[in-house]
Amino acid sequence: MSINTAILLFTIVCHVYSTNTGDQNSCNTCCNPPAGIPGIQGTNGIPGPKGDNGAKEEIGLTGEKGDIGQKGDVGQKDNKSTVGQSGCVGSPGRKGEPGPVNSMVFKSAFSVKSVGRRISRIDHRQPIQYNAVITNIGGDYNLTTAKFVCRVPGAYVFAFTGHNPYDKDLSITIMKNNQRIVSSYSGAIGVKSTSTTVVLVLVEDDEVWTQLYKRSNNINSYRFAEASFSGFLIYPAT
């Protein structure tokens, strides 16, 4: 029997007892007992079913298009910026690399000779004159002045050969810009020829020629046979 059912039966019995006995006080005491202990909380009920969706409202009507607004004022025009002053001239750039080599520009070679003639007088202070050109590539040897004039700076080879048919001394010098570079000597007795070779580094407009070593040379007044003077470029200066 549950607690609620027991309380209900107790109340009925008290009422009957009060009615039969007529004792109101006893009834009050019997029917109004002290409060009982609270009952145990009941369990939660089962969730009810999901309700139906509400009715969908109708879309309202589109409002009327508003009037076009007034045209705005034209904005202010920007002023053109003034042109700045010209800058200072920059420093010169570095020297460029050498261009491609033109092999024709760097060619220089010559050979001249003096044969078959009698030399009446040779000034030891003047270049020895040769009367025939064997080779003159580049045209750097001047037959009139008897000098080679450097057009292509670089390293050159120069050579002289000569023959003395008489019993006389012979000494020839290769000159560069009025400076004696190297000499070749042939005495009056013994070998009757002389020769020499030298390598020179030249710059543009340097001059090279042959000349008697000194005044006492006995080259004048006799045949100057089979003499030659040659020069050629080994490689140009970089």
Residue 76 lies in a domain: no
Cβ atoms of residues 159 and 208 within 8 Å = no
Residue 94 lies in a domain: no
Token look-up 């607690």 returns 3
Residue 1 lies in a domain: yes
Residue 61 lies in a domain: no
SS3 176: strand
Nearest to 224 by CA among 120, 147, 111, 124: 120
SS3 17: helix
Whether residues 28 and 124 fall in one domain: no
pLDDT for position 5: 65
Residue 209 lies in a domain: yes
Whether residues 30 and 114 fall in one domain: no
pLDDT for position 209: 95
Whether residues 27 and 126 fall in one domain: no
Helix (H) or strand (E) holding 157: strand 154-163
Whether residues 227 and 134 fall in one domain: yes
Beta pairing partners, 110: 136, 231
Cα-only R_g, the chain: 69
Q: Which CATH number is 116's domain given? A: 2.60.120.40
Whether residues 17 and 116 fall in one domain: no
pLDDT tens-place string over residues 144-197: 999 999 999 999 999 998 776 666 677 788 999 999 999 877 765 665 677 889
Q: Give me the number of domains the chain comprises.
A: 2
Residue 83 lies in a domain: no
**Whether the predicted pLDDT of 141 surpasses 90:** yes
Whether residues 127 and 221 fall in one domain: yes
What residues contact residue 112 under an 8 Å CB cut-off, 6+ apart?
Answer: 130, 132, 133, 134, 136, 141, 143, 228, 229, 230
**Whether the predicted pLDDT of 99 surpasses 90:** no
Whether residues 116 and 223 fall in one domain: yes
Residue 91 lies in a domain: no
> If pLDDT is split at 50, 70 and 90, which confidence band does 207 have?
very high
Residue 78 lies in a domain: no
Whether residues 20 and 132 fall in one domain: no
**Whether the predicted pLDDT of 54 surpasses 90:** no
Among 50-59, 107-116, 160-169, 220-229, which is the least confidently predicted range? 220-229
Nearest to 13 by CA among 36, 35, 30, 28: 30
Token look-up 């003159």 returns 136
Four-point Cα dihedral 185, 189, 193, 198, nearest 10: -20
Which has the higher per-residue pLDDT, 123 or 133?
133
Task: Supply the range of the domain harboring residue 6.
Answer: 1-34
Whether residues 30 and 129 fall in one domain: no
pLDDT for position 100: 58
Which has the higher per-residue pLDDT, 144 or 6?
144
